[in-house]
C-alpha cells in the first residue's frame, strides 16, 4: 500500500513523502520536494533510513535514524520529515 504526504515547512521548503508499506513496515521510501541537501547524493541514504521502520515509529526513533546521515538539510529538518511521515500514516487510517 502506498502512503503519501506533502508538508510545507513554515518559512521553509516543501517535503513530499511517498512510502510503500507492507505489514506495518516501510518497505520503500521516496523523499521529494523543493529542498536542498549538502551533499545532494545523500538523499538516497536518507530514504533508506526510513525503510524498515514500523508505521507506528515514534518521533525520536525516526529523527534519530535520519540524523545518522552526515548531511546538511537546508530549509527543513529531520523533525519535518517525521511530521510528513506521521501525516502519511495517519492519512491511511482516515481512509
CATH at residue 26:
3.30.390.50
| Grid cell for residue 79 | 523533525
pLDDT in 10s for each residue of the chain, 95 residues: 999 999 999 888 999 999 999 999 999 999 999 999 999 999 999 999 999 999 999 999 999 999 999 999 999 999 999 999 999 999 866 55
* H or E stretch at 85: helix 78-94
Structural domain span for residue 69: 2-94
Q: How many domains does the structure of the chain reveal? A: 1
What one-character DSSP code corresponds to residue 64?
H
**pLDDT at residue 93, as a whole number:** 60
| Grid cell for residue 88 | 502519511
**pLDDT at residue 15, as a whole number:** 96
pTM of the entire predicted model: 0.92
Contact 29, 18 (CB under 8 A): yes
Q: Specify the pairing of strand 36-38 against strand 72-74.
A: antiparallel
Amino acid at each position: 500500500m502506498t502512503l503519501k504526504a506533502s508538508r510545507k515547512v513554515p518559512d521553509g521548503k516543501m517535503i513530499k513523502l511517498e512510502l510503500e508499506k507492507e505489514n506495518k513496515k516501510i518497505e520503500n521510501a521516496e523523499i521529494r520536494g523543493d529542498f536542498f541537501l549538502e551533499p545532494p547524493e545523500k538523499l538516497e541514504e536518507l530514504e533508506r533510513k526510513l525503510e524498515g521502520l514500523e508505521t507506528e515509529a515514534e518521533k525520536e526513533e525516526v529523527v534519530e535514524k535520519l540524523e545518522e546521515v552526515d548531511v546538511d538539510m537546508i530549509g527543513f529538518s529531520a523533525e519535518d520529515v517525521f511530521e510528513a511521515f506521521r501525516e502519511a500514516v495517519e492519512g491511511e487510517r482516515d481512509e
